């Protein structure tokens, strides 16, 4: 192995050595502890340390790094305290995730590191979002993220590189090409030889390095980073290396030909660099031993600290509270309709602008108004979505926004839903807000993993909030067929860490959207397409927020209760008017968290409950609310709980089939049955 010191001082070369040696010695200790049962699982990076160490030390301390399983050198390179790092691996309360996640599945903003999730690929898009924030703030910084050769087969890899190239984001995508994805060799993973062949296809520079040569990795990343800070753009950096142990220790290495171990053992990054330093007289034997003894003492001290740390103490209230970032209490509260809770929801707090100034607005105009005023209120808010810039979105909600706020903050995106949602989390890490528009709620499946496993779990895992609103044009009724008509809100109401909002009228549409954009947590904001231009109401011109998590009575009565949301509110109100039905119509407005006390009050008042939603019956939110009422309000019931929902089929295209699919006609039968019970 050839080392070119260039103009680097002896101090720099020894600094690299100490940081290269440290993860190796930690790993050797961890393998012993693993056999003793003191560590539950271990993904070894032995043989690959030069990549993590060289790239980390080449960056500035405030530049983010997004590592993988085998990048221990990133954490030690950023001087993460070993006591806390070991406590993390042991699942202790003092670990970065308080025992909630393992190994390197955590981040630390103090050290500008964002850890992985098991799905590997999603972090590449998060890196893009961090870099986008730096570009918008005109900060000359670079972001580094890693992928293995196996993980590079994921769609997230393509989406992240594509978006970074289109937006010219200063990200170095390091591909650790070690020849295997777990046990599957490269020739069964892809049909090219080297990843540098991929770079030109994305319109980006691609560079290859010897991943076992720490000096080459350091020099290359340092040179690239200096260039990218001045000329922002992404670069693909392929590091050729080899994994000397199993994917994780339990998997073993029997699937790897022995001759590969023999070949790559000669290229050991620690041994070769150490030998070169000794030959050059930069390191002597006494210093070599001193480095090792110092690091070993640090390891032992860290282990003592971790061993003495307490195990997590179960506390359900704390666990539930930590799913969400705390929301700043704001005074901009408005309730126009009759409230279900006079003490909490009926007050109108004064604002600097007069809330009595009203303008008749359609549902779609109220959403656009709330989005525009939130952009004015939060300069850090960035809008992203397909065709939302000059075109104004397929529903024209953001029409004119580019002229007002610029293309930096109103961004057309490639058809890369996963990468864009992930970029939203990256923006949050840099202190910004993101709104992602799904062109249709149906398309959210392409970004599902990012929402469910990244946005929703981030705060619970390591205290990083995901300040992202995903707008979801939803619902049937326009003969758009199975892929543009689904009501898929129940996919997300099952996911702790998310908030799910579904307004039924223009006043709530604006107030709840403003509240969602002010909220530091991830919010799925559903907008029924059929309501966009079919309903209107007097809406305050000023900025205001409507509280998330509070239901409201759209109609008050005593005969029965219809609990619903979205278009269901209008179906219930129309039928009640037609039948002169003396009923409560409770508009949930928020589906996660839904307002348990409002439901309790209406059930205790009327004793009869119909749960109505456009979503299909099985697994719909009505089943959850019905079960809760049966458990908590059984003594108040005078009749069985009834659910009214769409058929358990895909949404059909033909109008006659679609109307039969929807629950509106079945609502009448349920009301008449409830009346006669």
Indicate the SS3 state at residue 537: strand
Q: Please name the residue that has the structure tokens 């406590």.
A: 87
Q: Quickly count helices (H) and strands (E) in the chain.
A: 25, 21
Task: Please give the helix or strand (H or E) that residue 501 lies within, else none.
Answer: strand 499-501
CA–centroid distance for 463 within its chain: 13
Neighbours of 533 (CB within 10 A): 12
First to last CA, the chain: 86
Task: Please give the helix or strand (H or E) that residue 37 lies within, else none.
Answer: none
| CA distance linking residue 520 with residue 325, whole number of Å | 6
DSSP state of 451: I
Selected catalytic residue, list 112, 158, 484, 570 = 484
CA–centroid distance for 605 within its chain: 41
Counting Cβ atoms within 10 Å, is residue 537 exposed (0-12), middle (13-18) or buried (19+)? Answer: middle
Peptide bond into 274 cis (omega under 30): no
The candidate with the shortest Cα–Cα distance to 664, out of 544, 567, 562, 555, is: 567
H runs (alpha helix) in 400-505: 401-405, 417-429, 448-449, 456-462, 490-493
DSSP state of 450: I
Neighbours of 184 (CB within 10 A): 14
CA–centroid distance for 44 within its chain: 27
DSSP state of 466: -
Q: Angle, to 10 degrees, between the axis of helix 285-308 and the axis of helix 269-279?
A: 140
- With vertex at residue 561, the alpha carbon angle to CA 556 and CA 563, rounded to the nearest 5 degrees, is 100
| CA distance linking residue 292 with residue 285, whole number of Å | 11
- With vertex at residue 653, the alpha carbon angle to CA 650 and CA 659, rounded to the nearest 5 degrees, is 85
484 is catalytic: yes
Neighbours of 108 (CB within 10 A): 19
Indicate the SS3 state at residue 495: coil
**Cα dist. 66→62, 71, 251, 664 in Å?**
13, 9, 25, 49
| CA distance linking residue 674 with residue 677, whole number of Å | 5
The candidate with the shortest Cα–Cα distance to 144, out of 213, 200, 44, 73, is: 73
Q: Known catalytic residues?
A: 484
């Amino acid at each position: 192995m050839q080392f070119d010191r260039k103009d680097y001082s002896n101090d720099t070369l020894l600094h690299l050595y100490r940081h290269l040696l440290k993860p190796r010695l930690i790993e050797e200790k961890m393998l012993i502890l693993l056999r003793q049962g003191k560590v539950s699982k271990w993904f070894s990076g032995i043989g690959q340390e030069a990549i993590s160490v060289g790239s980390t030390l080449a960056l500035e301390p405030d530049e983010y790094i997004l590592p993988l399983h085998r990048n221990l050198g990133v954490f030690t390179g950023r001087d993460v305290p070993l006591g806390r790092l070991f406590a993390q691996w042991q699942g202790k309360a003092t670990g970065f995730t308080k025992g909630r996640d393992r190994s390197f599945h955590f981040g630390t903003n103090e050290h500008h590191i964002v850890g992985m999730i098991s799905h590997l690929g999603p972090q590449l898009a998060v890196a893009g979002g961090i870099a986008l924030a730096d570009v918008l703030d005109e900060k000359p910084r670079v972001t580094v993220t890693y992928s293995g050769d196996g993980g590079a087969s994921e769609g997230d890899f393509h989406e992240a590189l594509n978006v970074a190239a289109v937006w010219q984001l200063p990200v170095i995508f390091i591909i650790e090409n070690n020849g295997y994805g777990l046990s599957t060799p490269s020739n069964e993973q892809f049909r090219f030889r080297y990843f540098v062949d991929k770079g030109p296809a994305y319109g980006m520079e691609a560079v290859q390095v010897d991943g076992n040569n720490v000096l080459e990795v350091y020099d290359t990343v340092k040179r690239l980073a200096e260039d990218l800070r001045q000329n922002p753009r992404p670069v693909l950096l392929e590091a050729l290396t080899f994994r000397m142990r199993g994917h994780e220790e339990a998997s073993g290495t029997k699937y790897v030909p022995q001759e590969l171990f023999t070949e790559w053992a000669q290229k050991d990054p620690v041994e070769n660099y150490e030998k070169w330093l000794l030959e050059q007289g930069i390191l002597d034997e006494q210093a070599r031993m001193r480095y090792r003894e110092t690091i070993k003492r640090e390891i032992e001290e860290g282990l003592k600290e971790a061993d003495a740390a307490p195990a997590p103490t179960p506390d359900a209230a704390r666990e539930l509270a930590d799913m969400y970032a705390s929301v700043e209490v704001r005074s901009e509260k408005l309730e126009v309709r009759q409230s279900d809770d006079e003490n909490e929801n009926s007050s109108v707090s004064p604002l600097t602008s007069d809330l009595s100034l009203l303008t008749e607005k359609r549902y779609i105009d109220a959403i656009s108004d709330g989005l525009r005023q939130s952009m004015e209120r939060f300069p850090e808010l960035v809008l992203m979505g397909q065709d939302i810039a000059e075109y104004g979105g397929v529903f024209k909600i953001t029409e004119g926004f580019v002229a007002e706020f610029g293309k930096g903050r109103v961004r057309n995106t490639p058809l890369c839903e996963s990468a864009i949602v992930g970029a939203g989390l990256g923006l949050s890490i840099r202190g910004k807000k993101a709104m992602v528009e799904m062109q249709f709620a149906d398309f959210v499946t392409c970004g599902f993993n990012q929402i469910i496993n990244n946005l929703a779990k981030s705060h619970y895992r390591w205290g990083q909030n995901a300040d992202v609103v995903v707008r979801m044009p939803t619902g049937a009724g326009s003969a758009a067929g199975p892929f543009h008509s689904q009501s898929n809100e129940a996919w997300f109401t099952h996911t702790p860490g998310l908030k799910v909002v579904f307004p039924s009228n223009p006043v709530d549409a604006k107030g709840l959207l403003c509240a969602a954009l002010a909220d530091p947590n991830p919010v799925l904001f559903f907008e029924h397409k059929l309501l966009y231009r079919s309903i209107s109401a007097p809406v305050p011109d000023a900025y205001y927020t409507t509280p998330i998590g509070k239901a409201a009575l759209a109609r008050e009565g005593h005969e029965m209760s219809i609990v619903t949301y979205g278009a269901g509110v209008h179906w219930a109100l129309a039928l009640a008017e037609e039948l002169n039905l003396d009923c409560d119509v409770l508009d949930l407005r928020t589906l996660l968290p839904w307002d348990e006390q409002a439901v309790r009050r209406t059930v205790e008042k009327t004793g009869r409950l119909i749960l109505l939603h456009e979503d299909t019956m099985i697994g719909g939110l009505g089943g959850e609310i019905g079960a809760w009422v049966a458990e908590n309000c059984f003594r108040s019931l005078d009749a069985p709980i009834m659910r009214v929902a769409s058929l358990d089929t895909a949404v059909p295209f033909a109008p006659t089939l679609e109307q039969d699919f929807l629950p509106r006609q079945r609502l009448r039968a349920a009301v008449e049955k409830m009346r006669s019970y």
